[in-house]
C-alpha cells in the first residue's frame, strides 16, 4: 500500500509479518505446557479484541480527520460555531456555579440561625424559614444540574476545538514549508537522524499519555489487555486525533524530509511489535541501550513499582536519562489498576472518556473540572477518594 504522493506505509506492508509472528508464538506456547494458560498465552476473545482494535487503528487516521475537518476552528465551516458553543457552555456553567455556591452558603447560614433560634426558644416564623430554605435548595439543585451538563459540554466541545486545531497546524507538510535548516537528502544519515529524532519525540509523547488523563484516555486501550503477547502490540488506539501530541513534524523544521518522517514512524512501530512477548527473556548487554521485551513488560505492568515506567520505543536510554527506567524484577501483572473486564470494542475504546466526563459532571468548580482532564489518572483517583471521605465525614456529622 502506498499513500498518495508518499512512501509506503510500513505498518501496512508488515501485516503478513504480524500474523506470521503471532502464529509462531502461539505454536511455540502450545509446545510449552508450563506456559499454557498464563498471561503470555492467547485467549480467543482477548486476541480478537486486539486484532479488531488494530484494524481500527489503521482506519482511524483515514476517517477521523475527515469527520473532524468541518468542525476545526479556522479551517472548517462549523469551526466558529464549535468555539461559540464551548464558550457559551463555559459561561452558563460558571454562572450556575456562582448561583449554586451562594445559595448553599445562604442555606448553611439560615440553618445555623434557625438552630440558634430554636435553642433560645425565640421566633414564631419557623414555617416560613423552612419554606425559604426549601426553595433555595431546589434552585441550588437546579443550578447544580445546569453546571453538570454545561461543564461536560464545555470540556468536550472545547477539547475538540483545541485538539483539532492543534493537529491541523502541526502537520509535517506545514512544518516542512517553514523549515529552519536546509533540506537533507534521503541517504542513510538523514534516515538515521529521522529514526532517532522520532524515537526521542515518541518517548515524550508516550510519557505525556501516562501523565495527563485526556491523553491517557487515548492510550489506555493499549494497556487494557490482561494478556501479553504479540497480538497485544496490535491493540492500538483509534482516537489519536483527540490528543495534543508533541508534533513529529518538528523534525521537518531541521531539514528532515516529510517522507523520511513517515518512514521513521513505520520503523518505530515495527520495532515495537516484537517486544510484546513473554517468550523472550533478557538480552544481555543490549538491555542497557535498547528497549527489549523485558523492559516493555515492565511498562505494561500494573504492579505499583512498574506504573508509568519505561516509555521508550526503540531506545531505553531516554528512560535512563530522564528518570523513568525500571528493571524487570518481580513477575509482571498485566492490565490496568482497575481493569475494564469487557471485550466490547466500544467500552474498551471509550471507558476512560466516560469516566473522565462523569468526574467532570460531578465537579462544582473549574479547578476540579480541568484537573480531572489534564492532570494524571492517579490524581483523579486520589481526588475521588478525598471527596468520598468528605461526604462520609459530613454525613457522620449530620447523623451525630
Residue 372 counted as domain residue: no
Judged by DSSP in three states, 236 sits in coil
Residue 389 counted as domain residue: no
Judged by DSSP in three states, 121 sits in coil
Give yes or no: residues 290 and 202 share one domain: yes
Whole-number pLDDT of residue 384: 86
Whole-number pLDDT of residue 134: 82
Q: Which of 314, 299, 323 is nearest to 219 (CA)?
A: 299
Give yes or no: residues 222 and 128 share one domain: no
Mark which of 126, 161, 196 sits at the end of a domain: 161
DSSP result, 79-148: HHHHHHHHHHHHHHHHHHHHHHHHHHHHHHHHHHHHHHHHHHT--S-HHHHHHHHHHHHHHHHHHHHHHH
Number of domains in the chain: 2
Give yes or no: residues 62 and 111 share one domain: no
Indicate if the pLDDT at residue 319 is higher than 70.
yes
CA atoms lying within 13 Å on the CB side of residue 174: 8
Alpha-carbon distance 25 to 30, whole Å? 9
The position carrying cell 489498576 is 337
Mean pLDDT of 60-82: 91
Residue 366 counted as domain residue: no
Give yes or no: residues 336 and 234 share one domain: yes
Mark which of 127, 161, 195 sits at the end of a domain: 161
Whole-number pLDDT of residue 8: 75
DSSP percent split of the chain into helix, strand, coil, nearest 5: 70, 0, 30
Alpha-carbon distance 377 to 396, whole Å? 29
Q: What percent of the chain has pLDDT over 90?
A: 77
User: Of 56-65, 224-233, 239-248, where does mean pLDDT reach its minimum?
Assistant: 56-65
Give yes or no: residues 204 and 282 share one domain: yes
Give yes or no: residues 343 and 210 share one domain: yes
CB atoms within 10 A of CB 131: 11
Indicate if the pLDDT at residue 320 is higher than 90.
yes
* In contact, 366 and 91? CB cutoff 8 Å: no
Whole-number pLDDT of residue 137: 87
Mean pLDDT of 225-251: 95
Give yes or no: residues 235 and 91 share one domain: no
Indicate if the pLDDT at residue 101 is higher than 50.
yes
Give yes or no: residues 132 and 183 share one domain: no
Give yes or no: residues 30 and 152 share one domain: no
Whole-number pLDDT of residue 231: 97
Q: Which of 146, 243, 211 is nearest to 380 (CA)?
A: 211
Give yes or no: residues 152 and 177 share one domain: no
Residue 385 counted as domain residue: no
Indicate if the pLDDT at residue 400 is higher than 50.
no
User: Of 23-32, 136-145, 254-263, 388-397, where does mean pLDDT reach its minimum?
Assistant: 388-397
Mark which of 135, 161, 187 sits at the end of a domain: 161
Give yes or no: residues 102 and 39 share one domain: no
Whole-number pLDDT of residue 131: 79
Residues spanned by the domain of 94: 79-161
Amino acid at each position: 500500500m502506498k499513500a498518495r504522493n508518499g512512501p509506503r506505509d510500513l505498518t501496512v506492508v508488515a501485516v503478513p509479518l504480524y500474523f506470521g509472528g503471532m502464529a509462531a508464538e502461539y505454536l511455540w506456547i502450545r509446545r510449552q505446557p508450563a506456559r499454557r494458560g498464563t498471561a503470555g498465552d492467547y485467549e480467543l476473545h482477548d486476541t480478537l479484541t486486539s486484532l479488531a482494535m488494530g484494524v481500527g487503528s489503521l482506519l482511524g487516521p483515514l476517517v477521523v480527520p475527515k469527520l473532524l475537518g468541518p468542525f476545526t476552528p479556522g479551517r472548517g465551516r462549523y469551526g466558529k460555531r464549535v468555539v461559540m458553543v464551548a464558550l457559551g457552555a463555559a459561561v452558563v456553567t460558571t454562572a450556575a456555579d456562582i448561583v449554586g455556591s451562594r445559595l448553599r452558603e445562604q442555606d448553611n447560614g439560615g440553618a445555623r440561625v434557625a438552630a440558634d433560634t430554636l435553642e433560645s426558644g425565640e421566633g414564631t416564623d419557623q414555617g416560613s424559614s423552612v419554606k425559604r430554605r426549601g426553595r433555595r435548595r431546589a434552585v441550588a439543585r437546579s443550578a447544580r444540574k445546569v453546571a453538570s451538563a454545561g461543564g461536560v459540554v464545555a470540556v468536550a466541545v472545547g477539547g475538540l476545538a483545541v485538539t483539532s486545531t492543534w493537529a491541523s497546524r502541526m502537520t509535517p507538510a506545514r512544518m516542512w514549508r517553514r523549515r529552519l535548516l536546509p533540506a537533507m537528502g534521503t541517504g542513510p544519515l538523514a534516515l538515521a537522524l529521522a529514526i532517532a529524532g522520532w524515537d526521542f519525540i515518541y518517548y515524550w509523547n508516550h510519557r505525556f499519555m501516562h501523565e495527563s488523563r485526556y491523553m491517557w484516555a487515548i492510550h489506555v486501550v493499549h494497556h487494557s489487555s490482561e494478556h501479553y503477547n504479540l497480538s497485544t502490540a496490535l491493540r492500538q488506539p483509534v482516537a489519536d486525533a483527540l490528543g495534543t501530541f508533541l508534533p513529529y513534524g518538528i523534525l521537518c523544521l531541521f531539514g528532515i524530509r516529510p517522507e523520511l518522517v513517515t518512514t521513521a514512524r513505520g520503523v518505530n512501530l515495527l520495532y515495537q511489535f516484537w517486544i510484546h512477548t513473554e517468550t523472550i527473556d533478557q538480552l544481555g548487554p543490549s538491555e542497557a541501550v535498547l528497549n527489549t521485551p523485558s523492559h516493555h513488560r515492565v511498562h505494561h505492568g500494573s504492579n505499583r513499582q512498574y506504573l508509568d515506567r519505561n516509555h521508550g520505543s526503540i531506545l531505553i536510554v531516554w528512560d535512563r536519562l530522564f528518570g523513568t527506567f525500571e528493571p524487570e524484577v518481580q513477575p509482571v501483572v498485566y492490565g490496568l489498576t482497575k481493569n475494564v473486564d469487557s471485550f466490547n470494542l466500544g467500552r474498551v475504546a471509550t471507558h476512560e472518556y466516560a469516566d473522565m466526563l462523569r468526574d467532570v459532571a460531578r465537579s462544582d468548580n473549574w479547578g476540579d473540572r480541568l484537573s480531572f482532564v489534564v492532570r494524571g489518572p492517579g490524581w483523579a483517583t486520589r481526588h475521588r477518594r478525598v471527596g468520598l471521605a468528605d461526604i462520609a465525614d459530613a454525613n457522620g456529622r449530620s447523623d451525630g
